[in-house]
Chain A
Amino acid sequence: QVQLVQSGSEVKKPGSSVTVSCKASGGTFGNYALSWVRQAPGQGLEWMGRVIPVLGTTNYAQDFQDRVTITADKSTNIAYLSLRSLRSDDTAVYYCTRGGDSGSFAFWGQGTLVTVSS
């Protein structure tokens, strides 16, 4: 069974950067796209971008293109989300998620709360 385990909560200052990790176990890490989705307090789900480890390719949502980098290390089965120039409205729970045999997101990490506050 696929499991995604994320790193712990973070508190950051405005203007700084944050990196969240997601370790995958079970299944074949490299063959499936791994996406990051965030959820601000009381709000809906927002796709940020994805990495396809076997191809080494990334795609980003337009709203995040200038500030986000998603990487994957096939040797450790860990994916990373880096977000720069943090603002207070980046305060959210960040989820890593992976598809199954369809393009939907069958597997989710437990979420990582990132709080941006001065």
Chain B
Amino acid sequence: DIQMTQSPSTLSAFVGDRVTITCRASQSIHIWLAWYQQRPGRAPKLLVYDASILESGVPSRFSGSGSGTEFTLTISSLQPDDFATYYCQQYDTFYTFGQGTKVEIK
């Protein structure tokens, strides 16, 4: 099975900060990686797919990059709506999620 490791587990930041979340796969997954945002009590929301393609309607302050085993999600200027938990997911071989990164207000 492909394992996905996210870091950090928790991130404290101010509104306006640039934040980066990293996701590492246990083997190459090419570009088959997605990022999701989840707010408490809500279903996850797709932000980025195929490592770097922004889902329709997602603000341009979100961006994804990487290939192979190393991937990042960057929020260029953190907004109040962005305080949530973020998950990466591989879909190269079935599906595996990272353990999540909680973005908290500093």
List the interface of chain A (C-beta within 8 A of B).
35, 37, 44-47, 50, 59, 61-62, 95, 97, 100, 102-106, 108-111
Contacts and interface: CB of A to CB of B under 8 A. Distances in A.
Given A44-B87, A61-B94, A108 B43 contact: yes
A50 B95 CA distance: 10
B34 A104 contact: yes
Given A108-B43, A108-B44, A44 B100 contact: yes
Nearest to B45: A108
A35 B95 contact: yes
Given A95-B43, A103-B91, A105-B44, A44 B96 contact: no
A111 B38 CA distance: 13
Interface of B: 1, 32, 34, 36, 38, 43-46, 49-50, 53, 55, 87, 89, 91, 94-100
Specify which of A35, A62, A97, A104 lies most central, judged by the most chain B CB atoms within 10 Å of its CB.
A104
A106 B89 CA distance: 12
A47 B89 CA distance: 10
Contacts of B95: 35, 47, 50, 103, 105
Contacts of A97: 43
B35 to A, nearest CB: 9
B53 to A, nearest CB: 8
A106 B55 contact: yes
